[in-house]
A and B are shown apart, each in its own frame.
Chain A
Amino acid sequence: MLSRVAESLYWTARYVERAEDVTRLLDVNFHALLDAQVDDRGQAWLQIVQLLGDEERYAEHYDEATAVNVSDWVLWHDGNPNAVVNCVTLERENARSVREQISGEMWEAINKLFLLVRGANRRAVSRGPHAFFEQLRNGAHLFQGSADATMTHGDPYEFIRLGLQLERAATTVRIVTSRYPRALALEHDDPARARQLIALLESCSAFEAFVKRHGTLFEPAAIAEELIRSADFPRAVRYCLASSLDAVSRISSDQGAPHRILGRLVAGLEYGEAGDISGEAMSQTLRELLTGIHAAGEAVTKAYFSSRALPAGALAMQEAQQQQCG
């Protein structure tokens, strides 16, 4: 398939997943804070911004971290490339340029998601965000589900899967990095600790899955194990990276850089020591994972896309020419 098309599909999937992840983080925070005797609400909101890696840019636009400010930043702000409104715009732009490659159902799902977000009444959303979040999550799931159910599982599908799984792996690593140490820093019998651990699980849609397997003790080591090294929980880092590896293997049989990098990451998680994800070693492991996922993304770009990117100034000119040329 065309390199450009592969690239657009990959990014469409990443942006859909990103919009969903970001939404879920907000949703969990809103709910966690509802029944909290949380001393420092500002801290809880700032944490979201930190987790998404935009603390500096955020500080340029807002004085303090409040529910209103952070929601505005994460959902709507023009200056935030990861804002949901920008994710859905980019995902639709990407999908639009490869419409013939995806199924009609997928295009419809993307289009509805776009219309939902662009047409949202922002005031109403800030008054009662839950319904909006739920619609948005459903929209993302509809896209992902229809990719699975209505599209031929050939190369284009594998690039969608690859984008989705890499994005998901990176998000889980970020969530654990941000939330886990904070929970552990609290006293063992502090009720806030359990609540934080629950919020961590919910941020990864892992609450039900975890409770089914481990009950309600919320043992930190078990939580880390579930979120990082589970072979069957779909947002566990290992599961996502193994799926990415599988997608890469289906795309090409030669063992290029994407294959080798993902293979090493998966093997490290599969055959690592229990100590890798507890205590001091944990933050080191998480850092290495994030670096590794980033490297895998770059290797994928280099191996399959190799697009001739235009300098930023030329993009506007290209767009203008596209409009006048036929």
Chain B
Amino acid sequence: MEAHRPVIGADVAAEADGGLTAGYDLGTFFDEMFESPGVPRPHYRLLAERLSAMGAAQLGERIRVANAFFLTQGIGFTVYGDDAGTDRIFPFDLVPRIIPAEEWAIIERGLVQRLRALNLFLADIYHRQQILEAGIVPPGLVFGSRNFRREMMGFDVPGDIYAHVGGVDLVRDGDGTYLVLEDNLRTPSGVSYMLESREALKRIFAALFDRYGVRAIDQYPRELFETLRSVAPRASGSEPSIVLLTPGAHNSAYFEHSFLGRQMGVEIVEARDLIVHRNRVFNRTTRGMQRVDVIYRRIDDDFLDPLAFRQDSLLGVPGILNAYRAGNVTLANAIGTGVADDKAIYPYVPEMIRFYLGEDAILPNVPTFHATDPTDLAYVLDHLEELVVKAVDQSGGYGMLIGPASTAAERDEFRRLIVAEPRNYIAQPTIALSRHPTFVDGELRGCHVDLRPFVLSGADATRIVPGGLTRTALRPGSLVVNSSQGGGSKDTWVLA
């Protein structure tokens, strides 16, 4: 992987004339901050004023402060394929993204609606399968999903909640309309970066926070804790013992696991810390075995239980599936949620919402072509240059072809892959993702952004902290915002 230079520590050019916003190029995209050259949108006016009063050198100095903060805090992000254990500083951009209250209200309602429908879908798929009977979702797509788990058939999960933590990736197109790009219902990550970016921004732009009335997000760990508590097995009493199960220190999100564990005050365990005895799960401690009631697990189904899933897993807890099915422990998220965030199922979510809730989807999907459909397939193979192709079971920006940026060889490779396994691929038109001013190489440049809010679904309530992780592509022109692909993050301000 090519070395990526984080925004932090970028060399700062000499003071620009007329401050940072002068000479900013809007391009042909929807710009989050400016409605036309030099004219900020109303909710960005204060920030734009602040930025144009500031020179690159002054901003650079503030970046150095933030840089030191991240470095000594050891906030890193491990990228697979790099030398494991080598932390890089988390690429972070200090120009915040701002969302007005009325815009957020719509997003929030759309997210609640979507997650309700997805949880109902999962309960249905693993019980009566009415949506298949009604002919709305093709059964082949469900049973053919490698994340469909027949072990979950007929099993009632506490509160009928499957996806306790959901991350929904939103993008805005050329008109500024919010679209759902994908759902993440297995082990979505990034929330620690959302929280840490806010800590850093508070140091950098303290005065602006005051004037803007930014809604707080630091309640997230408490809300996660409440969510987990609400789905504890009934027998565990009022203070269930909750743990966070991590794959271990070499996982790219380990920092986040550790961060959330500390913030919630729960034990972070690895598989070797847990033991199943008579369908009950225990911690091995220096004072013997201690019962565990709820496991917030940040490890894929495949690796969870070598007796049930991948036998070669060295990260799993033998027998945990049986303990789960016996109702003695709750897993969050539930096993088998991956069938609902499968990219081949994604196009059906608006219809799911209509089927289960009798409502129209508040947040629309991106139009999607199925390689399994012969008409779609022919179109996709003919138009690879314009489309984004995604492998249905991969995430994190892996297994993707971005048509407009691809080489002929890459397109040939994908053509071969798609024809060989059509079930494995979907294609979408390349969205002209909205852009946001981002501090790169000493000046503000428009970089593409997305937004991942986190939705907590408990037995008692659905909780969403106002905001999310705004990811930004830091390579010029790049549409890929995943942090594993050289993307960075921005603080996201939802206004009161």
Chain A interface residues (CB < 8 Å from chain B): 1-4, 6, 93, 96-97, 99-100, 104, 107-108, 111-112, 115, 155, 159, 251-252, 304, 306-308, 310, 314, 317-319, 321-326
15 interchain pairs (CB within 8 A)? A2-B269, A3-B286, A6-B286, A96-B254, A108-B74, A111-B74, A155-B286, A314-B314, A319-B84, A322-B248, A323-B251, A323-B252, A325-B300, A325-B315, A326-B300
Cβ of B456 within 8 Å of any chain A Cβ, yes or no, is no
Complex alpha-carbon distance, A293 and B413, angstroms: 62
Cβ of B283 within 8 Å of any chain A Cβ, yes or no, is yes
Complex alpha-carbon distance, A294 and B298, angstroms: 38
Residues of B within 8 A of A252 (CB): 286-287
Complex alpha-carbon distance, A320 and B475, angstroms: 28
Complex alpha-carbon distance, A310 and B315, angstroms: 11
Question: Which A-chain residue is minimally distant from B81 (CB atoms)?
Answer: A323
Residues of A within 8 A of B6 (CB): none
- Judging by beta carbons under 8 Å apart, are A96 and B186 in contact? no
Cβ of B302 within 8 Å of any chain A Cβ, yes or no, is yes
As a 0/1 sequence over residues 308 to 337 of chain B, the CB contacts with chain A under 8 angstroms (1 = contact) are: 000011110000000000000000000000
| A303 → B minimal CB distance (Å) | 8
Max chain A Cβ within 10 angstroms of own Cβ: one of B71, B261, B268, B302: B268
Max chain A Cβ within 10 angstroms of own Cβ: one of B84, B254, B284: B284
Partner of A99, one of B248, B262, B287, B315: B262
Residues of A within 8 A of B314 (CB): 310, 314, 317-318, 321
Complex alpha-carbon distance, A263 and B397, angstroms: 58
Partner of B250, one of A104, A307, A323: A323
- Judging by beta carbons under 8 Å apart, are A2 and B299 in contact? no
Question: Which B-chain residue is minimally distant from A4 (CB atoms)?
Answer: B273
- Judging by beta carbons under 8 Å apart, are B272 and A319 in contact? no
Instruction: Given A93-B85, A306-B284, A325-B315, answer yes or no on A3-B273 (Cβ-Cβ < 8 Å).
Output: yes
Q: Which 8 residue pairs of A and B lie closest in terms of their CB atoms, listed nearest first?
A: A100-B262, A322-B250, A318-B314, A322-B247, A97-B249, A322-B248, A99-B258, A325-B303
Partner of A93, one of B187, B249, B285, B286: B249
Question: Which B-chain residue is minimally distant from A314 (CB atoms)?
Answer: B314
- Judging by beta carbons under 8 Å apart, are A322 and B251 in contact? yes
Residues of B within 8 A of A326 (CB): 186-187, 247, 251, 253, 298-300, 303
Cβ of B341 within 8 Å of any chain A Cβ, yes or no, is no
Complex alpha-carbon distance, A174 and B78, angstroms: 39
| A20 → B minimal CB distance (Å) | 21
| A179 → B minimal CB distance (Å) | 37
Cβ of B267 within 8 Å of any chain A Cβ, yes or no, is yes
Partner of B74, one of A107, A307, A317, A325: A107
| A311 → B minimal CB distance (Å) | 11
- Judging by beta carbons under 8 Å apart, are B315 and A321 in contact? yes
Residues of B within 8 A of A324 (CB): 80
- Judging by beta carbons under 8 Å apart, are A97 and B284 in contact? no
Residues of A within 8 A of B286 (CB): 1-3, 6, 155, 159, 251-252, 304
Cβ of B238 within 8 Å of any chain A Cβ, yes or no, is no
- Judging by beta carbons under 8 Å apart, are A96 and B247 in contact? no
Cβ of B375 within 8 Å of any chain A Cβ, yes or no, is no
Partner of A100, one of B187, B253, B261, B298: B261
| B160 → A minimal CB distance (Å) | 24
Residues of A within 8 A of B186 (CB): 326
As a 0/1 sequence over residues 63 to 82 of chain B, the CB contacts with chain A under 8 angstroms (1 = contact) are: 00000000111100010100
Residues of B within 8 A of A6 (CB): 286
Cβ of B270 within 8 Å of any chain A Cβ, yes or no, is yes
- Judging by beta carbons under 8 Å apart, are A321 and B247 in contact? yes
Residues of A within 8 A of B80 (CB): 323-324
Question: Which B-chain residue is minimally distant from A109 (CB atoms)?
Answer: B72
Complex alpha-carbon distance, A108 and B262, angstroms: 15
Chain B interface residues (CB < 8 Å from chain A): 71-74, 78, 80, 84-85, 186-187, 247-254, 258, 261-262, 267-270, 272-273, 283-287, 298-300, 302-303, 312-315
Residues of A within 8 A of B78 (CB): 323
| A271 → B minimal CB distance (Å) | 31
Complex alpha-carbon distance, A310 and B299, angstroms: 19
Complex alpha-carbon distance, A159 and B254, angstroms: 23
- Judging by beta carbons under 8 Å apart, are A3 and B248 in contact? no
Residues of A within 8 A of B261 (CB): 100
Residues of A within 8 A of B85 (CB): 93
Residues of A within 8 A of B248 (CB): 97, 318-319, 322
- Judging by beta carbons under 8 Å apart, are A2 and B251 in contact? no
| B212 → A minimal CB distance (Å) | 28
| A164 → B minimal CB distance (Å) | 17
Residues of B within 8 A of A322 (CB): 247-251, 315
| A322 → B minimal CB distance (Å) | 4
Complex alpha-carbon distance, A96 and B76, angstroms: 11
Partner of A96, one of B72, B249, B283, B284: B249
Residues of B within 8 A of A1 (CB): 285-287
Extra A-B contacts (7), CB below 8 Å, given A4-B284, A322-B249, A326-B186: A2-B283, A2-B286, A93-B249, A99-B262, A100-B262, A100-B268, A325-B251
- Judging by beta carbons under 8 Å apart, are B267 and A2 in contact? yes
- Judging by beta carbons under 8 Å apart, are A4 and B270 in contact? yes
| B265 → A minimal CB distance (Å) | 9
Complex alpha-carbon distance, A155 and B251, angstroms: 27
Residues of A within 8 A of B273 (CB): 2-4
Question: Which B-chain residue is minimally distant from A99 (CB atoms)?
Answer: B258
Complex alpha-carbon distance, A325 and B250, angstroms: 11
- Judging by beta carbons under 8 Å apart, are B272 and A308 in contact? yes
- Judging by beta carbons under 8 Å apart, are B262 and A321 in contact? no
Residues of B within 8 A of A104 (CB): 73
Question: Which A-chain residue is minimally distant from B269 (CB atoms)?
Answer: A2
Complex alpha-carbon distance, A307 and B270, angstroms: 12
Residues of B within 8 A of A318 (CB): 248, 314-315
Question: Which A-chain residue is minimally distant from B287 (CB atoms)?
Answer: A252
Instruction: Given A93-B249, A100-B268, A308-B272, answer yes or no on A112-B262 (Cβ-Cβ < 8 Å).
Output: no
Complex alpha-carbon distance, A308 and B315, angstroms: 12
Residues of A within 8 A of B269 (CB): 2, 4
| A101 → B minimal CB distance (Å) | 9
Complex alpha-carbon distance, A251 and B286, angstroms: 9
Residues of A within 8 A of B313 (CB): 321, 325
Complex alpha-carbon distance, A1 and B298, angstroms: 21
Complex alpha-carbon distance, A319 and B250, angstroms: 6
Complex alpha-carbon distance, A324 and B80, angstroms: 8
| B424 → A minimal CB distance (Å) | 18
Residues of B within 8 A of A310 (CB): 314
Complex alpha-carbon distance, A97 and B253, angstroms: 12
Residues of B within 8 A of A93 (CB): 85, 249
Question: Which B-chain residue is minimally distant from A306 (CB atoms)?
Answer: B284
Complex alpha-carbon distance, A155 and B267, angstroms: 14
Question: Which A-chain residue is minimally distant from B260 (CB atoms)?
Answer: A100
Complex alpha-carbon distance, A155 and B250, angstroms: 26
